[in-house]
Homo-oligomer: A and B are copies of this chain.
Amino acid sequence: MSRVRVHNFSISIDGFATGEGQSLDAPFGHAGTRLHEWFFPTRTFQQMLGKPDGSNGIDDAIAGTWDAGIGAEIMGRNKFGPQRGPWENDDWNGWWGPNPPFHTPVFVLTHHPRPSVEMEGGTTFHFIDATPQEALRQAREAAGDLDVRIGGGPTTIREFLVEDLIDHLHIAVVPIVLGRGERLWDGLEGLEKRFQAESVTTPSGVTHMTFTRP
């Protein structure tokens, strides 16, 4: 059975995965880039930008596991873009330019479906209004034998965790107190009982935590 995985999902020590005030200019609201500064220097991220360089340390080793064996992604609409409510048009195709780094089908959860968009490099965005279970069924069908990644944001990951649909969860805890925004852990009391937890800190100051279904 293919697994359902979350990778490189950053939160503050007070549990916020995005700040307040998400907008086109501030995808993570008042958090700015602070949740992801550990990630930017990594070779994994630099390659997403099409650049050949980047660090090869422990942060990169962990970050780099995000893509292997993934056949489809599911993301929430808030990860796809800052718009809310009905789409004004179909011009917005995500933050990632013409060749997004996914290179697989990507299922965008939205209450406002629109036609699928085929991008360069193998990424196709499908817009579906579906429960986590139904979205996962479609993503698994698209992924074949490969795994499905839940790409975020926090609402989407939390919904899949509540439904116990996630097999592997990688969280990067950044030592900042964000104070406001959207929390990851709400409504997940006792989550650890379903997983084996591992943690490691890296010189960037981040604590990487993995929760894996035994």
Q: Among B177, B178, B192, which residue has its beta carbon within 8 angstroms of that of A175? A: B192
Which A169-202 residues sit within 8 Å CB-CB of chain B? 173, 175-180, 183, 185-192, 197-201
Task: Classify the interface of chain A: helix, strand, loop or mixed.
Answer: loop
Task: Give the residues in chain B near A176, CB-CB below 8 Å.
Answer: 190, 192
Nearest residue, chain B, Cβ from A201: B199
Closest Cβ of chain B to A144, distance in Å, is 33
State whether the Cβ of A15 lies closer than 8 Å to any Cβ in chain B.
yes
State whether the Cβ of A207 lies closer than 8 Å to any Cβ in chain B.
yes
State whether the Cβ of A146 lies closer than 8 Å to any Cβ in chain B.
no
Interface size on A, residues (CB 8 A): 28
CA distance A185 to B191 in the complex (A): 21
State whether the Cβ of A209 lies closer than 8 Å to any Cβ in chain B.
yes
Number of this chain's copies in the complex: 2
Which A130-146 residues sit within 8 Å CB-CB of chain B? none
Task: Give the residues in chain B near A188, CB-CB below 8 Å.
Answer: 14, 177, 179
CA distance A191 to B187 in the complex (A): 25
Nearest residue, chain B, Cβ from A14: B185
Closest Cβ of chain B to A16, distance in Å, is 10
Nearest residue, chain B, Cβ from A204: B199
Given A199-B201, A201-B200, A201-B201, the answer on whether A13 and B177 have CB atoms closer than 8 Å is no
**Which of the listed residues A176, A177, A185, A201 has the most CB atoms from chain B within 10 Å of its own CB?**
A177
CA distance A140 to B146 in the complex (A): 62
State whether the Cβ of A57 lies closer than 8 Å to any Cβ in chain B.
no
Which A77-109 residues sit within 8 Å CB-CB of chain B? none
> Which 6 pairs across A and B sit closest by C-beta, in order of nearness?
A179-B189, A14-B185, A175-B197, A199-B201, A177-B191, A176-B192
A-B contact pairs, 7 of them (CB 8 A): A13-B185, A14-B186, A175-B192, A175-B209, A178-B189, A197-B205, A199-B205
